[in-house]
């Protein structure tokens, strides 16, 4: 990779042990500005531990993570979020009965200014609605009828869209997406992939965890292949086929030396 | 809500057909996913009138209770003698005041997908403390009321600690030790118990702010149903112990602590008789409506009931919010107790044996889902009024009281069935 650019995330020698099991075994990790980095790996390869460590949900035993060149250690996902890192969880972490606008601001509500906000803690619903509408419109998601609609009345893809829009709206550094297309049909997956690219094109780097090879190969700029707790290599989707990627992932093929660094 | 065709037209948003990254000819299966890109939009189904009705009820949780209330009033107005008089309608409001207040407390808990089987027991314990302190303990009225409210708060915190990860050991040790020492020192239980409760609360506060060791970490997180079932028995036993099984008589309260009966005072407006308790009830509902709909705390309450894990991931400190919900609910139960003294006149440890189930009934008929996260607090007010209207209407129509229970049971079942149907609302 180019050395003159500071990576958004740079992890070196990351180790996480659970008792005798080493989930992350001296793994490295790099996320470059403005890219979609897919992380693939067999079940149990340790990719979710790796991602959780970056998102602050798992505490590392060894290793250094630098965020924008600064060594950082998040003690909780909230700390990571406060630092501008948003995660789109596989279960979306949306509250189904609340409206789209409420969900966008869940846990970070905006209060009115002045007496009502200060002493009566009154929410600034109009601001939140307008903001939510603007963000959804930016991403071409205002196909939903109303911003006050409950999330449970949306289709799976639309819900995913709301979760992605929320992450994109509040992320300052990068977004982590965990299996964003796993629960979706073909058409909805397409729409979500478009969305992911839109978010990238707005300058937010994305870490994409996915099992779906066609999706990974379509949207990823680089692919981080995780195997046996460490980074086997990073490839560019143009240089390798999906079968190659799967072969490296499962150990059937040696990772290419040049790309491993 | 806009209609389906318009939304479907707008749904074919910005969908282009990009190929995979260049540098290599894409393999057949890699492009397969891109082929349908022209129709890559979120589908919007056409809706039938029934779907629209379902969506309407889904978006407006108080709509169903309001319709049932209006319908039942209309039916009884037509069939029962003297039903539709200002006096009778205001009497119904008086009759539902205590259960309405308990229901408000219960609604908060149920919105978090919990249930509190001890609401009536908290209420009875609180009003026994108010009455005995005021009458036999010789406490000034205001002090008696405040300590009673504090007891409700303490009971709520106790329940809250059981269903969250909060540590309760310093609280219980302080409270129990205080009561034991003061009783040994010859102080009457009438004063020893409230002082113990207040010191326990203070210890809890100190432990939370780190001024006292918090004690062993007992991560209870018990299911609310079982935890409050236990609490119900405990609180009921404590009321019997504190009151010595004795009722505090109406005349004594009038003589010694008339403030306790303030919510029983009546005002007459155009032939209708309202008690201050009825106004208190409306005020409490309005206050809860505000905090639930217009504050971040309210959003958090709904989010926790809806999907606790999602709320946690969204950055809501769920245990804190839950603890505060139980605390507010306990205090509201004590407030209901104050109103109950005014309504009943005397203070008996044996009263309101069914208060707890009546409160849950009001919540359920009011359209709040027992599964949490759905409903509105005003629904509970309408739910309590529906029960009151049915009881009054059936009784004025000359039915045997057993048919009142029958009707209420039927209402509960219909309400739960409706809730299940509404919850299945789809895109």
Residues A71 and A178 in one domain: yes
Residues A76 and A173 in one domain: yes
For A18-39, how does the pLDDT look when each residue is reduced to its tens digit (9 = 90+)? Answer: 888 899 999 999 999 999 999 9
The Cα–Cα gap between A127 and A113 comes to 11
Indicate the residue among A125, A149, A173 that finishes a domain: A149
Q: Is the pLDDT of residue A68 over 60?
A: yes
Q: Is the pLDDT of residue A130 over 80?
A: yes
Q: Which two tokens stand for residue A175?
A: 């977004």
For A221-238, how does the pLDDT look when each residue is reduced to its tens digit (9 = 90+)? Answer: 999 999 988 898 999 998
Q: How much of chain B exceeds pLDDT 70, in percent?
A: 86
Can you tell me the mean pLDDT for B272-301? Answer: 94
Residues A122 and A13 in one domain: no
B51 and chain A: CB distance < 8 Å anywhere?
no
Residues A60 and A122 in one domain: no
Can you tell me the mean pLDDT for A116-128? Answer: 86
Query: Cβ A218–B307 below 8 Å, yes or no?
Result: no
Q: Which residues of B touch A239 (CB under 8 A)?
A: 23-24
Minimal Cα–Cα distance from B40 to chain A, Å? 5
Of A107, A146, A214, the CB nearest to B1: A146
Query: Cβ A187–B36 below 8 Å, yes or no?
Result: yes
pLDDT of residue B6: 41
Per the structure, how many domains does chain A have?
2
Q: Is B210 exposed, middle or buried (0-12, 13-18, 19+ CB in 10 A)?
A: exposed
Q: How much of chain A exceeds pLDDT 70, in percent?
A: 95
Residue A109, in any domain of the structure: yes
B427 and chain A: CB distance < 8 Å anywhere?
yes
Residue A2, in any domain of the structure: no
Residues A167 and A252 in one domain: yes
The Cα–Cα gap between A92 and A179 comes to 10
- Cα atoms found within 13 Å of the Cα of residue B39, Cβ hemisphere only: 7
Q: Which residues of A touch B286 (CB under 8 A)?
A: none
pLDDT of residue B249: 92
- DSSP H or E run through A23: strand A21-31
**Strand A222-227, strand A9-18: pairing:** unpaired
Residues A77 and A169 in one domain: yes
Residues A249 and A175 in one domain: yes
Q: Which residues of B touch A202 (CB under 8 A)?
A: none
Closest residue, chain A, to B21 (C-alpha): A238
The Cα–Cα gap between B141 and B131 comes to 9
For A160-202, how does the pLDDT look when each residue is reduced to its tens digit (9 = 90+)? Answer: 889 988 998 999 999 999 988 888 888 888 888 998 998 999 8
Mean pLDDT value across chain B: 85
Output the domain CATH number for residue A45. 3.40.50.300
Closest residue, chain B, to A125 (C-alpha): B294
The Cα–Cα gap between A97 and A99 comes to 7
Is residue B34 within 8 Å of residue B19, measured between CB atoms? yes
Ordered by start, the domain boundaries in chain B are: 62-72+82-138+246-423
Indicate the residue among A149, A169, A188 that finishes a domain: A149
Per-residue pLDDT band at B34 (split at 50, 70, 90): very low
B263 and chain A: CB distance < 8 Å anywhere?
no
pLDDT of residue B315: 84
Query: Cβ A96–B373 below 8 Å, yes or no?
Result: yes
Supply the ipTM of this predicted assembly.
Answer: 0.83
Q: Is the pLDDT of residue A60 over 50?
A: yes
Total residue count of chain A as it appears in this document: 261
- Tally of CB atoms within 10 A around A69: 10
Residues A63 and A121 in one domain: no
Minimal Cα–Cα distance from B42 to chain A, Å? 6
For B375-396, how does the pLDDT look when each residue is reduced to its tens digit (9 = 90+)? Answer: 999 999 999 999 999 999 999 9
Residues A139 and A71 in one domain: no
Query: Cβ B30–A217 below 8 Å, yes or no?
Result: yes
pLDDT of residue A47: 86
pLDDT of residue B61: 85
Query: Cβ A155–B314 below 8 Å, yes or no?
Result: no
Rounded alpha-carbon distances, angstroms, from residue B331 to A215, B99, B147, B275, B338: 54, 15, 11, 21, 11
Residues A86 and A175 in one domain: yes
First to last CA, chain B: 12
Range of A116's domain?
A: 98-149
Question: C-alpha dihedral over B405, B406, B412, B413, to 10 degrees?
Answer: 160
Residues A17 and A142 in one domain: no
pLDDT of residue B44: 54
Closest residue, chain A, to B45 (C-alpha): A155
Residue A86, in any domain of the structure: yes
Indicate the residue among A149, A167, A190 that finishes a domain: A149
Is residue B147 within 8 Å of residue B337, measured between CB atoms? no
Minimal Cα–Cα distance from A218 to chain B, Å? 5
Residues A65 and A169 in one domain: yes
Query: Cβ B310–A95 below 8 Å, yes or no?
Result: yes
Of B36, B310, B315, the CB nearest to A186: B36
Residue A41, in any domain of the structure: yes
pLDDT of residue A219: 93
Of B11, B30, B316, the CB nearest to A214: B30
Residue A1, in any domain of the structure: no
Residue A256, in any domain of the structure: yes
Query: Cβ B33–A189 below 8 Å, yes or no?
Result: yes
Query: Cβ B33–A218 below 8 Å, yes or no?
Result: yes
């Amino acid at each position: 990779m180019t050395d003159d650019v500071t990576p958004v995330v740079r992890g070196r020698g990351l180790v996480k042990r659970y008792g005798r099991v080493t989930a992350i075994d001296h793994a490295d990790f790099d996320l470059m500005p403005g890219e979609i980095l897919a992380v693939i790996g067999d079940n149990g390869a340790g990719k979710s531990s790796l991602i959780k460590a970056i998102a602050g949900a798992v505490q590392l035993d060894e290793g250094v993570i630098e965020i924008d060149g600064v060594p950082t250690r998040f003690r909780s996902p909230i700390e990571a979020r406060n630092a501008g890192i948003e995660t789109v969880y596989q279960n979306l972490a949306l509250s189904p009965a609340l409206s789209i606008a409420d969900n966008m601001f869940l846990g970070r509500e905006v209060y009115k200014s002045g007496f009502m906000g200060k002493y009566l803690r009154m929410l600034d619903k109009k601001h939140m609605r307008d903001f939510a509408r603007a963000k959804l419109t930016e991403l071409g998601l205002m196909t939903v009828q109303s911003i006050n609609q409950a999330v449970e009345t949306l289709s799976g893809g639309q819900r995913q869209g709301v979760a992605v829009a929320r992450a994109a709206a509040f992320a300052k550094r990068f977004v982590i997406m965990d299996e964003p297309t796993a629960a979706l049909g073909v058409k909805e997956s397409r729409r979500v992939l478009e969305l992911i690219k839109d978010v990238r094109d707005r300058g937010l780097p994305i870490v994409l965890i996915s099992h779906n090879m066609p999706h990974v190969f379509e949207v990823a700029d680089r692919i981080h292949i995780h195997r046996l707790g460490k980074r086997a290599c990073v490839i560019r989707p143009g240089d390798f086929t999906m079968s190659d990627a799967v072969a490296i992932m499962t150990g059937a093929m040696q990772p290419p030396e040049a790309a491993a660094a | 809500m806009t209609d389906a065709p318009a939304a479907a037209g707008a749904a074919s948003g910005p969908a282009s057909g990009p190929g995979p990254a260049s540098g290599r000819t894409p393999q057949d299966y890699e492009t397969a996913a891109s082929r349908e890109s022209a129709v890559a939009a979120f589908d919007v189904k056409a809706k039938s009138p029934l779907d629209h009705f379902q969506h309407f009820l889904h978006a407006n949780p108080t709509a169903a209770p309001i319709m049932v209330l209006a319908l039942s009033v209309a039916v009884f107005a037509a069939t029962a003698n003297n039903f539709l008089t200002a006096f009778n309608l205001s009497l119904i409001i008086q009759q539902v005041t205590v259960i309405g207040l308990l229901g408000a407390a219960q609604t908060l808990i149920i919105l978090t997908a919990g249930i509190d089987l001890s609401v009536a027991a908290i209420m009875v314990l609180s009003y026994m403390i108010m009455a005995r302190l005021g009458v036999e303990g010789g406490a000034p009225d205001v002090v008696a009321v405040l300590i009673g409210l504090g007891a409700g708060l303490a009971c709520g915190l106790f329940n809250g600690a059981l269903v969250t990860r909060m540590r309760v050991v310093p609280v219980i040790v302080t409270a129990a030790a205080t009561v034991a020492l003061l009783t040994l020192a010859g102080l009457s239980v009438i004063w020893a118990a409230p002082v113990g409760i207040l010191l326990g609360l203070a210890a809890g506060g100190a432990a939370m702010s780190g001024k006292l060791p918090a004690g062993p970490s007992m991560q209870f997180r018990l299911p609310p149903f079982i935890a409050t079932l236990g609490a119900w028995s405990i609180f009921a036993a404590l009321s019997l112990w504190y009151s010595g099984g004795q009722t505090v008589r109406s005349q004594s309260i009038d003589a010694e602590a008339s403030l306790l009966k303030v919510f029983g005072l009546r005002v007459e407006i155009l032939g209708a008789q309202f008690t201050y308790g009825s106004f208190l009830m409306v005020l409490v509902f309005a206050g809860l409506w505000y905090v639930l709909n217009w504050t971040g705390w309210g959003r958090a309450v709904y989010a926790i009931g809806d999907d606790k894990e999602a709320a946690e991931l969204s950055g809501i400190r769920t245990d804190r919010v839950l603890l505060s919900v139980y605390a507010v609910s306990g205090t509201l139960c004590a407030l209901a107790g104050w109103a109950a003294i005014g309504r009943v006149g005397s203070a008996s440890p044996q009263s309101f044996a069914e208060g707890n189930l009546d409160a849950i009934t009001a919540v359920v008929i009011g359209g709040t889902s027992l599964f949490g996260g759905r409903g509105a607090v005003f629904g509970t007010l309408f739910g309590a009024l529906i029960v009151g209207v049915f009881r009054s209407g059936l009784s004025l129509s000359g039915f045997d009281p057993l048919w009142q229970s029958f009707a209420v049971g039927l209402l509960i079942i219909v309400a739960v069935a409706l809730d299940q149907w509404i919850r299945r609302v789809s895109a």
